[in-house]
């Protein structure tokens, strides 16, 4: 509902130019990412099949965690898991480096693209990665049509069964078993006021807030109207504790919010480190990426706007205000995006332009 203008969209498709800068690029036929509900039955079926295909592939020894587990607070690599679990582990391992730092937008853009590439190269996927426009559903997430399709080959399935630890019982992911933090089928648990348990966490300052208030069409419109060139403020508005990014995670509950499954060890920390277990994680982050894409293309001052630190500081409300996207050492466009050995590493500069060559897509 808030895509790049028709003129820029057409230019990107036909010429392969940067939508704002007009610079020639090697991407001449970008794929077009569409909202999930605009996909046809065969397209949805192919997507779900490709995700399940990745889950059936074996673990790869290429996975090389780079963060000390005393910092990441996650379990060790479980080699009995599959390739999908390896993909999830990247997000777990890097969680303190890619949230509330300058890597937030670049890493997640890179991450969604890496999964799409793996789907194509390993499982024959031919489509473009879809996104979930959560602003459409903000008024009534619980009854969203996104989760209303229980078709076993083309549907995402619905909410989990409370009597079965909220594990999803229908749709194309009803058998998607993941291994982190312990083996279980993916879970969804609608939670309208998810911030109530965080009374002891200083960064959460509006505990009674209804999560769906944070990702309405009006909120998204305000994001796109954010001060031209102010990348730090734009990111902070997306990523603050009760903001759009976190609220979507928490309102779906279960794996997307990092709720520990029943039977988890006592040291399981409820946090969205393993939220990538849930395929909707990537729909969500494709939408986050779309908001960034639309902001970039709305004003020439936004397209290459970038600034951020490499060190997360969530020790207090004041620290978050002082360093909303990280403390020094500062990141630059030439800083490398970590991938834990799973995917070829690229620089932040490489992902700034979605039709720049390394990336080759636009949003409908």
% of the chain surpassing 90 pLDDT: 93
Give the separation between CA 53 and CA 29, rounded to whole angstroms: 26
Counting Cα atoms < 13 Å in the Cβ hemisphere of 317 gives: 8
Q: Are 189 and 160 in contact (CB under 8 A)?
A: yes
If pLDDT is split at 50, 70 and 90, which confidence band does 90 have? Answer: very high
Q: Are 237 and 214 in contact (CB under 8 A)?
A: no
**Burial label, 361 (beta-carbon count in 10 A; 0-12, 13-18, 19+):** buried
Question: How distant is the alpha carbon of residue 185 from its chain centre?
Answer: 20
pLDDT (tens digit per residue) in 321-340: 999 999 999 999 999 999 99
pTM listed for this prediction: 0.93
Give the separation between CA 49 and CA 178, rounded to whole angstroms: 16
Helix, strand, or coil here: 120?
Answer: helix
Higher local confidence (pLDDT), 154 or 12: 154
Q: Are 254 and 248 in contact (CB under 8 A)?
A: no
State the average pLDDT for the chain.
93
Give the separation between CA 71 and CA 7, rounded to whole angstroms: 46
If pLDDT is split at 50, 70 and 90, which confidence band does 206 have? Answer: very high
If pLDDT is split at 50, 70 and 90, which confidence band does 17 have? Answer: very low
Q: What is the dihedral of CA 270, 274, 276, 278, to 10 degrees?
A: -60
Confidence at residue 318, expressed as pLDDT on a 0 to 100 scale:
96
Q: Is the pLDDT of residue 41 over 50?
A: yes
CA distances from 153 to 150, 171, 347 (A): 9, 7, 37
Tell how strand 31-33 and strand 361-363 pair up. Answer: parallel
DSSP 362: E
Give the separation between CA 316 and CA 348, rounded to whole angstroms: 28
Question: How large is the average pLDDT for residues 208-223?
Answer: 98
Peptide bond into 160 cis (omega under 30): no
Question: How large is the average pLDDT for residues 151-159?
Answer: 98
Give the separation between CA 173 and CA 52, rounded to whole angstroms: 8
Beta bridge partner(s), residue 187: 167
DSSP 259: P
Fold designation for 31-363: di-copper center containing domain from catechol oxidase (1.10.1280)
Confidence at residue 1, expressed as pLDDT on a 0 to 100 scale:
40
Alpha helix positions (H), 225-326:
231-239, 244-252, 254-257, 280-298, 300-303, 317-322
**Where do the domains of the chain lie?**
31-363
């Amino acid at each position: 509902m808030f895509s790049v203008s028709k003129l820029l969209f057409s230019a990107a498709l036909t010429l392969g130019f940067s939508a704002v800068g007009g610079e020639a690029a090697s991407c001449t036929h970008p794929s077009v990412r569409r909202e999930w509900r605009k996909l046809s039955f065969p397209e949805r079926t192919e997507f779900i099949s490709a995700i399940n295909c990745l889950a059936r592939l074996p673990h790869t020894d290429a996975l090389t965690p780079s963060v000390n587990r005393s910092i990441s607070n996650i379990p060790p690599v479980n080699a009995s898991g599959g390739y999908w679990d390896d993909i999830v582990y990247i997000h777990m391992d890097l969680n303190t480096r890619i949230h509330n730092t300058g890597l937030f937008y670049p890493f997640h853009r890179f991450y969604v693209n890496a999964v799409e590439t793996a789907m194509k190269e390993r499982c024959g996927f031919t489509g473009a990665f879809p996104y979930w426009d959560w602003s459409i559903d903000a008024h009534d997430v619980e009854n969203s049509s996104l989760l209303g399709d229980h078709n076993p080959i083309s549907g995402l399935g619905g909410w989990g069964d409370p009597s079965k630890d909220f594990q999803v019982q229908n749709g194309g992911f009803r058998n998607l078993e993941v291994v982190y933090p312990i083996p279980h089928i993916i879970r969804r648990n609608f939670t309208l006021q998810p911030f109530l348990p965080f009374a002891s966490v200083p960064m959460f300052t509006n505990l009674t807030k209804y999560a769906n208030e944070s990702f309405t069409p009006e909120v998204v419109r305000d994001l796109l109207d954010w001060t031209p060139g102010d990348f730090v403020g734009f990111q902070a508005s997306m990523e603050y504790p009760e903001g759009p990014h976190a609220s979507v995670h928490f309102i779906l509950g279960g794996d997307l919010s990092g709720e520990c499954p029943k039977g988890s060890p006592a040291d399981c920390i409820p946090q969205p480190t393993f939220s990538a277990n849930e395929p909707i994680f990537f729909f969500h982050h494709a939408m986050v990426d779309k908001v960034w894409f639309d902001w970039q293309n709305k004003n020439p001052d936004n397209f290459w706007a970038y600034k951020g630190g490499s060190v997360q500081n969530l020790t207090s409300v004041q620290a978050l205000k002082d360093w909303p996207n990280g403390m020094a050492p500062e990141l630059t466009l030439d800083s490398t995006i970590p991938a834990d050995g799973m995917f070829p590493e690229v620089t932040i500069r490489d992902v700034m332009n979605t039709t720049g060559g390394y990336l080759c897509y636009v949003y409908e």
